[in-house]
């Protein structure tokens, strides 16, 4: 069977019957196509030979890619810088991908690291998802990420509390996105389809984690040992489905199966009625990772336990590989939306021995006190045969109190329930009084005789 060959000029495949390349017109032996201006002719006339300029097309290999991102040779669209992005620093990593169905990536993210005034390291991750139905959603998400990350780093380096820094960053991001509506690059009415995005970010410092969000971008906690500690979701969506579940009108499965499930009720943008930032602060006591992601990922594994199944066991030590694996999973599952995820490894703070000794014990930490056998002295009894003279001023603590139901404090005998009293018989209907007999008719009297 005849085999295809390659064009000697542009390396495009050529069928055996092709005399010239269909892409660049070069003949099979390397000569220019008929009608093409030979290089020697232009050189002989002292004219410069026009050179093809531009990046090389990823589809046909010709350097004819124009500024709009399309190849003039084959018409193929070229990958944009935001179609796939990866970034990793010490202690944090993130990956974003366009997916399969969308023509551009409207997600944006960043990861950063800095130091607190005392020298302790702190890492920051910000993820934003542009609202596709708004104008310029890709610009909205990028603007929010840039503004929020700059605000977070500035506040943390100045020693500001993490929760306060988070709220200030969300406010700064909201203002920056709202300003896009009046920059002259969009519709004349800023309240009409203004640029908008959702937001989530995380701060990790010294084992303490602070989360902030607006919209339906999410944060999850995934421990290393998922048999001893259960993964869980840290955020609550600002969405129609979440409100239905919160109001008790639907269960979660019904709400998220509804076509209106992903209609958001909170976002950043000029047409947002009120931006209500949500924040959460916690200190995990086991090692693990915090994931922040867009719905392009969690749509395929919504529950924390489901998402944890796809998280690598070594996620805490390999955050970039973990983010790459999760993005590949979402693309393989359909890639219906843009996919972005950032991974923050978390190590619990070390507890010093002195702090452990000074810690106030709880009821579960106290030893259980049991009664000694009859005739045997209790510990500290002084050999008094258990007469209790040494405990004259002793007040029992919680473990000294016998457990109800134990031999020391048996339950009282059960009293059989009283049988229910049968309902009383209904009263008899009232007797009908007898009808009195009719009086006998009075016979007619003869008329009186007339008087004189």
Dihedral angle over CA of 387, 388, 389, 391, nearest 10 = 180
Q: Cβ-count burial of 15 within 10 angstroms (0-12 exposed, 13-18 middle, 19+ buried)? A: exposed
pLDDT in tens, 95-146: 999 999 998 999 999 999 999 999 999 999 999 999 999 999 999 999 999 9
Residue 322: its pLDDT value, please? 98
> Mean pLDDT across the stretch 151-170?
97
Quick check: 378 pLDDT over 50? no
Residue 407: its pLDDT value, please? 56
Quick check: 220 pLDDT over 70? yes
Identify the band that residue 361 occupies on the pLDDT scale cut at 50, 70 and 90: very low
Residue 350: its pLDDT value, please? 74
Is the distance from CB of 28 to CB of 19 less than 8 angstroms?
Answer: yes
DSSP collapsed to 3 states, the chain: CCCCEECCCCCCEECCCCCECCCCCCECCCCCCCCCCCHHHHHHCCCCCCCCCCCCCCCCCCCCECCCCEECCCCCECCCHHHEEEEEECCEEEEEECCCCCCCCCEEEEEEEEECCCCCEEEEEEEEEECCCCCCHHHHHHHHHHHHHHHHHHHHHCCCCHHHHHHHHHHHHHHHHHHHHHCCCCCCCCCCCCCEEEEEEEEEECCEEEEEEECCCEEEEEECCCCCCCCEECCCCCEHHHHHHHCCCCCHHHHHHCCCCCCECCCEECCCCCCCCEEEEECCCCCEEEEEECHHHHCCCCCHHHHHHCCCCCCCCCHHHHHHHHHHHHHHCCCCCCEEEEEEEECCCCCCHHHHHHCCCCCCCCCCCCCCCCCCCCCCCCCCCCCCHHHCCCCCCHHHCCCCCCCCCCCCCCCCCCCCCCCCCCCCCCCCCCCCCCCCCCCCCCCCCCCC
Identify the band that residue 90 occupies on the pLDDT scale cut at 50, 70 and 90: confident
The answer to which of 69-78, 107-116, 176-185 has the lowest mean pLDDT is: 69-78
> Mean pLDDT across the stretch 247-259?
89
The answer to which of 12-16, 87-91, 371-375 has the lowest mean pLDDT is: 371-375
Quick check: 87 pLDDT over 90? yes
Quick check: 312 pLDDT over 90? yes
Q: Cβ-count burial of 146 within 10 angstroms (0-12 exposed, 13-18 middle, 19+ buried)? A: middle
Assign residue 314 a region: left if phi > 0, alpha if psi is -120 to 50, beta otherwise? alpha
The answer to which of 82-86, 185-189, 269-273 has the lowest mean pLDDT is: 185-189
**The pTM is what?**
0.66
> Mean pLDDT across the stretch 308-333?
97
> Mean pLDDT across the stretch 294-318?
96
Residue from 120, 116, 144, 118 nearest 131 by CA: 144
Quick check: 35 pLDDT over 60? no
Residue 431: its pLDDT value, please? 59
Residue 84: its pLDDT value, please? 96
Identify the band that residue 370 occupies on the pLDDT scale cut at 50, 70 and 90: very low
Cβ neighbors of 172 (< 8 A, separation 6 or more) are: 147, 148, 150, 151
Residue 360: its pLDDT value, please? 45
> Mean pLDDT across the stretch 203-212?
95
Tell me the pLDDT of the chain averaged across its residues. 79
């Amino acid at each position: 069977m005849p085999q295809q060959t390659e064009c000697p000029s542009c390396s495009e495949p050529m069928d055996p019957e092709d005399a010239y390349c269909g892409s660049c017109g070069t003949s099979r032996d390397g000569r220019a196509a008929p009608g093409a201006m030979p290089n020697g002719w232009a050189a002989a006339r002292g004219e410069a030979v026009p050179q093809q300029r531009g990046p090389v097309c990823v589809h046909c290999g010709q350097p004819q890619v124009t500024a709009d991102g399309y190849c003039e040779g084959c018409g193929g669209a070229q990958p944009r810088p935001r179609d796939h992005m990866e970034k990793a620093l010490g202690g944090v990593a993130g990956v974003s991908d366009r997916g399969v169905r969308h023509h551009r990536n409207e997600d944006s993210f960043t990861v950063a690291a800095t130091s607190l005034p005392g020298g302790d390291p702190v890492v920051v991750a910000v993820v934003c998802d542009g609202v596709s139905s708004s104008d310029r959603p890709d610009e909205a998400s990028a603007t929010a990420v840039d503004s929020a990350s700059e605000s977070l780093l500035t506040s943390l380096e100045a020693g500001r509390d993490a929760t306060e820094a988070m709220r200030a960053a969300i406010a700064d991001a909201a203002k920056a996105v709202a300003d896009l509506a009046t920059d002259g690059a969009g519709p004349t009415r800023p309240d009409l389809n203004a640029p908008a995005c959702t937001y989530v970010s995380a701060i990790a410092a010294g084992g303490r984690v602070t989360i902030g969000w607006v919209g339906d971008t999410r944060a999850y906690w995934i421990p290393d040992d998922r048999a001893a500690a259960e993964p869980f979701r840290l955020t609550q969506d600002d969405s129609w489905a979440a409100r239905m579940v919160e109001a008790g009108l639907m269960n979660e499965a019904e709400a998220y199966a509804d076509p209106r499930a992903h209609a958001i009720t909170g976002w950043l943008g000029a047409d947002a009625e009120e931006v209500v930032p949500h924040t959460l602060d916690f200190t995990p006591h086991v090692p693990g990772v915090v994931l922040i992601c867009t719905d392009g990922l969690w749509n395929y594994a919504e529950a924390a336990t489901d998402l944890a199944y796809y998280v690598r066991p070594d996620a805490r030590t390999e955050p970039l590989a973990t983010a790459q694996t999760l993005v590949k999973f979402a693309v393989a599952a359909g890639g219906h939306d843009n996919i972005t995820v950032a991974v923050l490894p978390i190590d619990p703070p070390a507890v010093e021995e002195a702090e452990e000794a000074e810690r106030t014990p709880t009821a579960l930490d106290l030893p259980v006190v049991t009664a000694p056998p009859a005739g045997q002295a209790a510990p500290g009894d002084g050999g008094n045969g258990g007469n209790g003279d040494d405990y004259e001023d002793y007040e029992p603590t919680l473990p000294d109190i016998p457990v109800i139901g134990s031999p020391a404090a048996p339950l009282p005998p059960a009293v059989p329930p009283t049988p229910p009293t049968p309902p009383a018989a209904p009263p008899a209907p009232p007797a009908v009084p007898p009808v009195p007999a009719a009086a006998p008719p009075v016979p007619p009297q003869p008329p009186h005789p007339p008087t004189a």
